[in-house]
Structure 1
Amino acid sequence: MRKTGDWADPKRLIDESYRIDGITTEECRSIFMDWAISLPAGSDPAVAIEALLERHGQAGHPMTDVLREGLAAPQKTGRRGGPAARRRP
């Protein structure tokens, strides 16, 4: 019988990723995206990531790097498109 996860890792995706030998950063990013959409509505991903880093944060593991990237502020992409952006004032 498979154990169920907790509030920070409902499907145990992050936990399982740390058990996979030879997992790549790209695979970890894919697992991270699956994890992010499985969080309960209204939960704060940053708080969950902090809890997961405390629990699993092994130095040198690709999932640790991906979790840390998840805490970083998103980069500004600059101008956004759309009709309003193309109109002159």
Structure 2
Amino acid sequence: MCRSIQTLFNLDPVATDEEVAAAALQYVRKLSGSTKPSKANQEAFDKAVEAVAAATRELLDSLVTAAPPRDREEEAAKAKARAAARFGTA
């Protein structure tokens, strides 16, 4: 799984459309092996990003949980600590 794709479910506040689109873009980039598609492939690439974003939004809107929402700032702090441990940065 692409490390830059963040978990978007059960956050407070809920995932924005921009976050969903960014995750979709990263997913399509990973699958296609291309960060910048050629002009010949741009339309197909853009359609794929839109389709993945729509499916992601539908999924997020339909999932249910009894767990309390996760705090974004707390999750960001945890991710920063993991990165510091992994890469030895402060």
TM-score (norm 2): 0.30
Q: Which has the higher contact order (CA 8 A, sep 6+)?
A: 2
TM-score (norm 1): 0.30
Decide which structure has greater strand share: 2
Q: Which has the greater radius of gyration?
A: 1
Decide which structure has greater helix share: 2
